Amino acid sequence: MRILYCGDVVGRAGREAVVRYVPRLRDDLKLDFVIINGENAAHGFGLTETICHQFYDAGTDVITTGNHAWDQREMLSYIDTDARVLRPLNYPPGTPGRGAHIYETRDGRQVLVAQIMGRLFMDPLDDPFAAIDAALDGCRLAETVDAIVVDIHAEATSEKAAVGVHLDGRVSLVTGTHSHVPTADARILPGGTGYQTDLGMCGDYDSVIGMKKEAATARFITKLPTTRLEPAEGEGTLCGVVLETDDATGLARRLDPVRLGPGLIESLPPL
């Protein structure tokens, strides 16, 4: 099975990159399943129903979120109606939406997608390790599902790496989101799980992690939050990974970075 996971979509530039490149990648790479992180898609802050459907129309199967899940108030009600949108598992009980779900590919295979959020330098949510262990209880690769993808939405690279180690051999892929910077450590862990610390972003890289350079830089220089952050509006680059799983085990056979667009050195798996 071939699965594409794209990093945080930031603003219009990121949305346009998804719409431009995902259909091409779906065809060229013969993808079976596509996931994106959409939590910054609505002008840099949150997600809307309209944007969700733009992504679905482009060939996306699942949208993950993160700490900006609720920036657009409509998501508080909409997320309960759309099983294709996930929020972190370790939000407290009673939070709208779901943090894990089993999806069916177009040819009938089963993919569990789950998201957790880190606690280092983030809001102090429930234990992400306990949350993902509970979600995986009774769900086994090559027995109950064909693939398992876990997103760790976190600030600290150490916390993301620890999640990868903790889940190695039990899931197909562990990958991080949130930092908007693609890391150069795509690899397969000793137990057979694909891993990358952060996917990067889908957005304009002539920016400060997707936001216009002047306002973002001014906040560091003046220490005053007086200038509103807005997404950069140049041409967007799509960043993510393509995972190829072993049909017999559900574990990773190969993991390749994907970078398409200006600003970064382009990278694609072999066709």
Per-residue confidence (pLDDT) for residue 223, from 0 to 100: 82
- Considering the domain boundaries, does residue 201 fall inside one? yes
Give the strand pairing for 100-104 and 110-117: antiparallel
Task: Give catalytic status of residue 68 as yes or no.
Answer: yes
Tell me what pLDDT residue 228 has: 81
Question: Of the residues 68, 153, 178, 180, which is catalytic?
Answer: 68
Residue 103 within any structural domain of the chain: yes
Treating both helix axes as pointing N-terminal to C-terminal, what angle do 128-136 and 157-167 enclose, rounded to 10 degrees? Answer: 30
User: What is the residue range of 70's domain?
Assistant: 2-260
Q: Is the pLDDT of residue 98 over 90?
A: yes
**What predicted TM-score, i.e. pTM, was given to this entire model?**
0.95
- Please check whether residue 66 lies inside any domain of the structure: yes
3-class secondary structure, 260: strand
Q: Residue 270: inside a domain, yes or no?
A: no
- Asked if residue 267 is part of any domain, the answer here is no
Instruction: Give the CATH number, domain containing residue 168.
Output: 3.60.21.10
- Structure confidence at residue 174 as a pLDDT band (50, 70, 90): very high
Cβ atoms 125, 159 nearer than 8 A: no
Q: Does residue 48 lie within any of the structural domains? A: yes
Query: Which residue in the block uniquely carries the two structure tokens 């431009």?
Result: 20
Token pair for residue 167? 């889940």
> Strand 8-9 to strand 2-6: parallel, antiparallel, or no bridges (unpaired)?
unpaired
pLDDT one-digit tens code per residue, 223-263: 887 678 899 999 999 999 999 999 999 999 999 999 999 98
What's the structural domain count of the chain? Answer: 1
Q: Is residue 269 part of a domain?
A: no
Residue in 135, 153, 145, 197 with CA at minimum distance from that of residue 172: 145
Separation of alpha carbons 101 and 103, rounded Å: 6
- Residue 271 inside a domain? The answer is no
